[in-house]
Structure 1
């Protein structure tokens, strides 16, 4: 009896760890950045899980929407994002890291359809959008959406998956 129980416990424990320790892979998603309207910044670095990132550069709009984007294929849904940006108006470099809620992976797989306002067509081929927002006083937000913006669309969802406060240093 003991010969069967120990292996069963080991298998159950391994499955438990596998289910809790990481998120699954996404076939395709888009990751992008945005900032508050009127808060032009220079994105220096946006890196997910220390492995892949978004080439950003100049960002002038819009919080909760994607501007500079990158399409990502067959990648594990990220668990953290590290960002750095320059706010020229304050001459500050902001930097920080935010944990991303692991529930985001399941949400990404079940995002709802939305409707195009101009045609009334229902879009059912949904691409997950992972959006990183950088606020004018150093706020960092991470959202998941079923589309890049609200423009010409009805039924957009925006789930907040993480937030934090960046630190800053003077730009010398």
Structure 2
């Protein structure tokens, strides 16, 4: 798909992909400035994610409006000690009524010093 950049205090970078097969893995690399480490790793994605993506439920906005055109979101999280998690959701972020979040895979990154 490509690469995304983000900032250390917030999340929210998104990239759209269509007309592609469901991914089999996620490869990530990030810099932990506090430890001066570069973490890198990959996570295999559960093949059941494809079925989940096709059957995600509707959700509601805070206004009560129901969204019935659902686009699946792969959400990737990296922890401070190198944990990697991959989820699929029917919304891009928290704060929606009816949001679902299914874990598709997890792993542990390796690290090297940032020279």
Report the TM-score when normalising by structure 1: 0.64
Q: After the TM superposition, which residues 19-58 of structure 1 pair with which residues of structure 2 at under 5 Å, given as runs?
A: 52-58=1-7
Q: Quick check: 1:92 aligned with 2:41?
A: no
C-alpha distance in structure 1 between counterparts of 2:8 and 2:91, whole Å: 19
- 1: CA distance, partners of 2:53 / 2:71: 8
Deviation string, structure 1 residues 54-93 (Cα, Å, up to 9, x no partner): 321424235xxxx111000101110011111001011000
Q: Of 45, 50, 60, which residue of structure 1 is paired with 2:9?
A: 60
Normalized per residue, the structure richer in strand is 1
State the TM-score, normalized to the length of structure 2: 0.94
Partner of 1:131: 75
Aligned mates of 2:19, 2:8 — CA distance in 1: 27
* More helix by percentage: 1
Partner of 1:140: 84
User: What stretches of structure 2 of length at least 5 have no aligned partner?
Assistant: none
Q: Matched residues in 1 for 2:6 and 2:57: separation?
A: 31
Distance 2:59 2:27 in 1: 30
Distance 1:59 1:103 in 2: 31
Q: Say which SS state the counterpart of residue 107 (structure 1) adopts.
A: helix
Query: After TM superposition, what 4+ stretches of structure 1 lie above 6 angstroms from structure 2?
Result: none
Higher relative contact order, structure no. (Cα contacts within 8 Å, ≥ 6 residues apart): 2
Cross-structure match for 1:162: 105
Q: How many Å separate the matches in 2 of 1:90 and 1:169?
A: 10
* Superposition RMSD in Å: 1.1
Aligned residues: 115
Rg (Cα) greater in structure:
1
